[in-house]
Amino acid sequence: MVRKSFKEQVLIAREEAIVVAANRLLAEKGFDAMTVDEVAAEVGIAKASLYKHFSSKEALAAAAMIRVLDHALAQIEALRAEPAGDEVDQLKSVVRWTMQVQLAGDMPSLPTQNSALRTALTSNRSYLDRLMLVSERLGEWITAGQRSGRLDPSLPAEVILYTMFARACDPVLGVLKESANFSDEQIVDMLLSTCFDGLHGHRLRSPRAAPAARVDTGLRRSHA
């Protein structure tokens, strides 16, 4: 293996620092509010030096997403190497990890409607290859979970996959964290439950059963 020169090592380290800074700012401020100047200032370099590594803000966002996908793949491969539970348990572990990353402020926040960003992502082979591999790995577990009956077999597999992806950018996480009523662990456990178990009670009432009491929001008292 050819050893990299000192200059090459410095460039690699600087590029990693740029991506880490962009990732943090994207998580904190979102794509629209983040500027290239802020990323450069965070790293302590001139904007011109940053542009030697990344040609645009969109390229920075793509690099941040590649970083997240690399970490996701590492989590998935670790679960595949030492499985703890069945396929649905593996899926839950991955979703738990994505929510923990978001609560830790390390999940990039990207807009869904931005043509320039969409073009940058769909034309980035490294990003697409990793996204496809993550989807394939999770898809294998989803299919197995549907075969076993632990996941609804009537749902298209891609619906389950996209539902899991949505947890990585679920705004409910941030709302609950800001409320200061729950710990991060409680938030993750609750949203993991709603994702995989839904909102229905464990024992569904029969049609003849007495209706459940209505939640009293105080509105009836105020209008009494």
Q: Is the distance from CB of 53 to CB of 15 less than 8 angstroms?
A: yes
Q: How confident is the model at residue 211 (pLDDT cuts 50, 70, 90)?
A: very low
Q: Is the pLDDT of residue 90 over 50?
A: yes
Structure confidence at residue 185 (pLDDT): 96
Q: Which residue has the tokens 């600087």?
A: 14
| 86 against 10, higher pLDDT | 86
* Boundaries of every domain in the chain: 8-199
Residues 174-195: what's their mean pLDDT?
96
Q: Is the distance from CB of 27 to CB of 105 less than 8 angstroms?
A: yes
Residues 52-68: what's their mean pLDDT?
95
Dist CA 213 CA 94 (whole Å): 36
Dist CA 14 CA 41 (whole Å): 13
Residues 47-74: what's their mean pLDDT?
95
Identity of the residue numbered 214: R
Q: Is the pLDDT of residue 143 over 80?
A: yes
8-199 CATH choice from 3.20.20.70, 3.90.1300.10, 1.10.357.10, 3.40.50.410: 1.10.357.10
Residues 109-130: what's their mean pLDDT?
93
Q: Is the pLDDT of residue 138 over 90?
A: yes
Residues 206-214: what's their mean pLDDT?
41
Average pLDDT, the chain: 88
